[in-house]
Amino acid sequence: MAFPVTRSRRLRMNEILRNMVRETRLSPEQFIYPMFVCSGEGVKKEISAMPGNYQWSVDRLVHEARSVKSLGIGGIMLFGLPAKKDDAATGAYDDNGVVQEALRALKREVPGILLITDVCLCEYTANGHCGIVKGDEICNDETLELLARAALSQAKAGADMVAPSDMMDGRVGAIRSALDKNGFQNTPIMSYSVKYASGYYGPFREAADSAPAFGDRRSHQMDPANAREALREVELDIEEGADIIMVKPAGPYLDIIRMIRDRHEQPVAAYQVSGEYSALVAAASMGWLDMPGVMMESLIGIRRAGADIILTYFAKEAAKILG
């Protein structure tokens, strides 16, 4: 039935109607807030490329996590800045490492929020690479064992869920079996299954002090041009035991989120990464875009594409708006 019988504007005429017929909603419970933990005490150091985000020492992190929880946000994703880095990334699987200390403190002091850990070596290797490097190669199989040790150490310290972001082949399986052998059968794995070699990670490398000293990450992260390959990555991770599938970045890859949502039953998470955040914050600070409008629009777009869970540096600001 065409105009004038049909008028699309009828259901847009007032706020109550618009709220009633809205197809997609956001809820703070579905947000995961990424946080950076460093050594020391009393540290709250702003990340210049990500205004409003900080490196926290454990004592200050605990305090901040309480306010994150009180906003109704479902989880925190922890990244560590170790006191020192080496070739074997020992800080990643040190039971007294900075993330492990943070987990114990958060478990004790801030119950009721999900503690999730990023599993990768790049924050802990002196060369900033995600795995063990020999010559100019990032070695796959040698790295798996260390990733499994890191995940296990995090689970022991209190991680409720582990999230491997390294993109080595076989890491979900290696982590699953290490967790299972040690009594952590019920610790879920949220896999960064589809992680593109993206320029949008730029600000994060300052935040986590994890820029590669040489080369780049294209030998393990995906080519932004590929979509069918994303489906293969997801299938492999599901076979290896991934409980939640993540796509990263989010905004430039909405088609990938939708494709996975349509083909798989597992929950889908999307990571709105540092560069997506910083680009909007910078444009808004110039007066070129309006906050909070573009923030909420960017998040609703990711939900509408099919993500169940959103990792976002906007979690707190968005949760405040959602009330």
Which positions are catalytic? 195, 248
From 82-90, 93-101, 114-122, 181-189, give the range in contact with ligand PBG by CB under 6 A: 114-122
Contact status, residue 112 vs residue 76, Cβ threshold 8 Å: no
Q: Helix 98-109 to helix 140-157 angle, to the nearest 10 degrees?
A: 30
Residue 115 to residue 158: CA distance in whole angstroms? 8
The least CB distance from residue 254 to ligand PBG, in Å, is: 17
253 binds, among ligand PBG, Zn ion, none (CB under 5 to 8 A by kind): none
From 16-24, 58-66, 116-124, 292-300, give the range in contact with ligand PBG by CB under 6 A: 116-124
Position 165 contacts ligand PBG (CB under 6 A):
yes
Position 38 contacts ligand PBG (CB under 6 A):
no
**Among the listed residues 273, 299, 305, 310, the single contact to ligand PBG using CB under 6 A:** 273
The least CB distance from residue 195 to ligand PBG, in Å, is: 7
Nearer to ligand PBG, 118 or 160 (CB): 118
Nearer to Zn ion, 120 or 194 (CB): 120
Could you say which residues in the range 197-236 bind ligand PBG, by CB under 6 A?
Answer: 201, 204, 217
User: Token pair for residue 5?
Assistant: 């019988």
Nearer to ligand PBG, 76 or 122 (CB): 122
Contact status, residue 99 vs residue 82, Cβ threshold 8 Å: no
**Among the listed residues 30, 127, 191, 274, the single contact to ligand PBG using CB under 6 A:** 274
118 binds, among Zn ion, ligand PBG, none (CB under 5 to 8 A by kind): ligand PBG
Position 116 contacts ligand PBG (CB under 6 A):
no
Residue 250 to residue 64: CA distance in whole angstroms? 26
Query: Closest-CB residue for ligand PBG?
Result: 204
The least CB distance from residue 167 to ligand PBG, in Å, is: 8
Please enumerate in sequence order all residues whose Cβ is within 8 A of that of 154, keeping only pairs 6 or more positions apart, or say none: 99, 100, 103, 117, 119, 162
**Among the listed residues 120, 175, 268, 269, the single contact to ligand PBG using CB under 6 A:** 120
Q: Cα-flanking dihedrals φ and ψ of residue 19, to 5°?
A: -65, -35
If one counts every other C-beta atom within 10 angstroms of the C-beta of residue 112, the result is: 6
57 binds, among ligand PBG, Zn ion, none (CB under 5 to 8 A by kind): none
Nearer to Zn ion, 127 or 187 (CB): 127
Using CB under 6 A as the criterion, which residues of the chain lie in contact with ligand PBG when the complex forms?
118, 120, 122, 130, 165, 201, 204, 217, 273-274
